[in-house]
Structure formats: C-alpha cells, structure tokens
Structure 1
Amino acid sequence: MRKNTTTQMAALSVAAMIGLSACGQTPASEPEKTSQSQVSVESLSLDNAWAKAADEGMTAVFGELKNNSDEDITLAGAKYDDADEVQLHETLEDNSGGMSMQEKKGDFTIPAGESLSLKPGGEHIMVMGLKKPIKPGEEISLELVTGDDQTFPVTAIAKDYSGAQETYAPGEADSDH
C-alpha cells in the first residue's frame, strides 16, 4: 500500500507542476508583452556620458539617460568599483536662494522611448569616496542598476569641469566623503 501511495503522490506532484507552469504561458496568437525583467542591454544607454575629473573625494557622472524600449525603466542606482558609494542625486533650490545637492528620495524613472538629462546643477549620479583619482581624458566604467536589479554597463570620459558649485543639503555630506 505504501508503494502505491508514493506513486500516487509523485503523479500528483508532476501534474501540479505541469498545471502551474502552464499558467504563465501566453497563447501563440497573442504577442508576448515585454516586462522590465526582460529588457535588453540595448534598452538603456547613457549617451554622451562624462564625469568630472577629481583627484579625491567625490565626483559626478552626467549624460543623456535614454530608454530605448517600449516600457518605462526605473534607475535605482549605480555602481563604480573605485568608490565607496554611488548615489542618485538631485539639485534643488535651498532657502538661501542658492542650490543644494542631495540624495534623491526614490529612483529616476525614464518613460518608454524618452530620456532623462543628467547634468551639472540638476539630476546626476554622485560618486563618493573615490579610491583613486579620475584624470581628464580617462574613461571610467560604471554599472547602472534598475529597479529590478538588472545592471547595464556604461562608460564615461573624465573632463575638467569647475561649474555647478552646489552645496550639500544639511546632513548630506559627512566627513568620510
């Protein structure tokens, strides 16, 4: 009797797995809709990417963040191996009439087929705690990270730049960075 019960349980398990796997299938007559988890590497680019050259401390990365897909893409962060931390930043008007830079609360959303300009004095990728200098003309490699943890490799060329002298919002800068 035990052998028969084991065989029945195995058959039920296989039937259940087949039934569950069929739930996620799309009929052949309907085109499959692309979700963000299926976005290809070509779907997100950082055109004309550049970084401010820096000997130490921090720098920023700029360019035209372009969504080449038919779905919205959420940029949740970025990674740079030669830094302690990378953050998405925004620049806002402060109470004194100047501009203050701060970590963005939330992500950057790039609508389908559109782009987001990352620029000095605006939204940008902040690279903090540089582990080595970034010299003018040097090409650096970063990874953009989407809301669903996909990574997109990008490169940026380092340039001398002295503009956009924003300050940090209170509590944003600490002695480590």
Structure 2
Amino acid sequence: MLRLSLFTMCALLAAVPASAEKFRDADLKALVPQIRATCLKPSDRQSWMTARQQESVCGCVAGKMHASLRKASFVNTRAPTAADKKKYMAFQDAAQLACTQPVFRQQTLRKVRQECVAKAPGIPVMQGLKRQRLDKVCGCVSERYARTWTLELVAKYPDTRSTMEGSRGLFAESIALCNAPPARKTPARKN
C-alpha cells in the first residue's frame, strides 16, 4: 500500500504552526480520514485482496494510526523533522502489517487448501487417499502453511523467483509433515 509521508498529511492540517509535541485532537480528526482515503485508492490495492478486504484493512490502519499518533510525541507535528517522519512511517508500517496479516492469512488458508486438494492426485504420497483423510491432510497443510507464510516472511525474499521457491518448499514440507503416519507409542519397560 501507498506509504504516506508525514509532511503530506500535515499539510492537510490547519496552517497555524503548533508548538505542541503531540497531535491535537482536531488535527487527528482531520488526519485519520485522509489516511483511510489514501489507503483505499484502487491503484494501491494488492492483487490478492478484494475491494471489501481492502476497505476493512484501511479502516483498521486508520484506527491503529489514530491510536499511535494520539500517544506519540513528535518534535514538531506541523513541520516534521527527519526523526518525526521516521517515527510516523514506523507507525504506518506496523499498522499496515497488523491490519493486513489477518486478511493475508485468510486468503492463504483458502488458496493453499484448494491447491492441496487439486494437486493431491499428482502427489505420490497423497494418491489414493480417501476423501476424509485428504480433507484432514489438506486442512493441516493449509493451517501449517498459513501459520508460517506471513507477510514478514514474504518480504524477506529478494525477488519473485526466490519467493516461489520458498513457497513450493513450504508446501512440500507441510504435505510431508501432515501426511506422516501418527507416531506409535512404545510401551514403557518395567524394571
């Protein structure tokens, strides 16, 4: 999503310079709708997110930014310093991640489960599984995958190729772990 600069957002506020280190309630009241509106721009929506999901995420981001900005102190809220801008961007990045991750997880769960069921006939260890077992394995695969495949992890990959390799590796690893037979309990020896 589009990263907002503190300078741009502050320019929308009243032109009278403030000497306070915290945002005034009136300033926040004007700023938060602008954060939400900028987030909702169609050109800024990620391809995996629906318009409804983006609307929910942007409402969440605006709320989290409001809470963060209300508590934070800045050198100057009207003419932000480099440190002010950095702090603002850190709040924005944290809000984006916190608000987008649940939607990303939901999408990941759904897509991985679909892919698991669709690819099962071509995966040797899954061929011939009865429907009930297949559903159980694919449910496990999607849960494990979605728990591991986070936005933070995806961001660590330098390019699309390495991201796809990491994704395939996690998918294969999840299938192997979820389809493994349950471990047998060995009876304890009596001395």
TM-score (norm 2): 0.23
More strand by share: 1
Per chain length, whose mean CA-contact separation is higher, i.e. which structure has more relative contact order (CA < 8 Å, sep 6+)?
1
More helix by share: 2
TM-score (norm 1): 0.25
